[in-house]
Amino acid sequence: MTKNMGNFDRGLRIVVGIALLIAAFATDFGASGWLHWTMIAAGGIFVVTALISTCPLYAIFGIRTCQR
């Protein structure tokens, strides 16, 4: 896949993703319930997409925030 994410998007996703992961593991938000697993999944997806600079949803909708 081609890179379609700019630096601002990447930075924001890393911050939000890490915050979600920390919140999921450091709090009692449904210790093993759906909210806990949703936070882990969303945080992981945000971090991974930021690290590879590619968002599949951006590709589907033709969005590109990085410089060409």
Q: What is the pLDDT of residues 9-58, one digit of tens each?
A: 999 999 999 999 999 888 876 567 888 899 999 999 999 999 999 999 99
- Would residue 55 count as lying in a domain? yes
- What is the count of structural domains for the chain? 1
- Would residue 17 count as lying in a domain? yes
- Would residue 2 count as lying in a domain? no
Q: How far apart are CA 41 and CA 46, in angstroms?
A: 9
Domain that holds residue 52: 7-61
**Closest Cα partner for 9 from 38, 47, 60?**
47
Q: How far apart are CA 66 and CA 34, in angstroms?
A: 34
- Would residue 66 count as lying in a domain? no
- Would residue 26 count as lying in a domain? yes
Residue 48's identity, in one-letter code, is: V
Joined together, the tokens standing for residue 1 give 């896949």
Task: Specify the pLDDT at position 31.
Answer: 65
Task: Specify the pLDDT at position 30.
Answer: 58
**Inter-residue contact 54 to 5 (CB < 8 Å):** yes
- Would residue 1 count as lying in a domain? no
